[in-house]
Amino acid sequence: MSPGNLACSRLATPLNVATASTSDLDPMRALFIVLDKALWFYFYLVVAAVIMSWLIAFNVVNTRNQFVGMIADFLYRISEPALRPIRRRMPNLGGIDISPIILFFIIFFISLVINIYILPNVF
């Protein structure tokens, strides 16, 4: 096989980890993949914070229990910095808080931008 045909065959074959060469863009790709996974991890933390706030509001769990109080405090402290700016800009809807839903849409949007526009162009 001539060197020209070898180069064409490399382009035509699907990506294989064993044959992939290390380039300068691989760490950048890994960074965006880790960022995407971190966004999804944060999504699940916000879901847990929403569920915990419902459990506390409906008196299913008691925050006087030290373990429940620690979990509730952690989830509040982790989710509140992202939810507070959204709540400031939202109109008053009475007792309904839709800021987590808007945060979910923002996380979905950022994840889609990473997966559709950034990752294919980094590699």
pLDDT tens-digit series, residues 17-34: 444 455 656 888 889 999
Q: Cβ contacts of residue 29 below 8 Å, gap of 6+?
A: 119, 122, 123
In this prediction the pTM is 0.75
Long-range contacts of range 77-81, CB-CB < 8 Å, 24 or more positions apart? Answer: 78/42, 78/45, 78/49, 79/45, 79/46, 79/49
Q: pLDDT-derived band of residue 7, with 50, 70 and 90 as boundaries?
A: very low
Residue 59 backbone class (left: φ over 0; alpha: ψ -120 to 50; beta: rest): left
Q: How much is the pLDDT for 27? A: 84
Q: pLDDT-derived band of residue 123, with 50, 70 and 90 as boundaries?
A: low
Q: Return the SS3 of 112.
A: helix
Mean pLDDT (the chain, rounded) = 84
| C-alpha separations of 107 from 52, 72, 110 in Å | 20, 22, 5
The pLDDT of residue 2 is above 80: no
pLDDT in tens, 41-71: 999 999 999 999 999 999 999 999 999 999 9
DSSP category for residue 19? T
Higher pLDDT, 79 or 10: 79
Q: What is the mean pLDDT of residues 89-104?
A: 92
Q: How much is the pLDDT for 19? A: 45
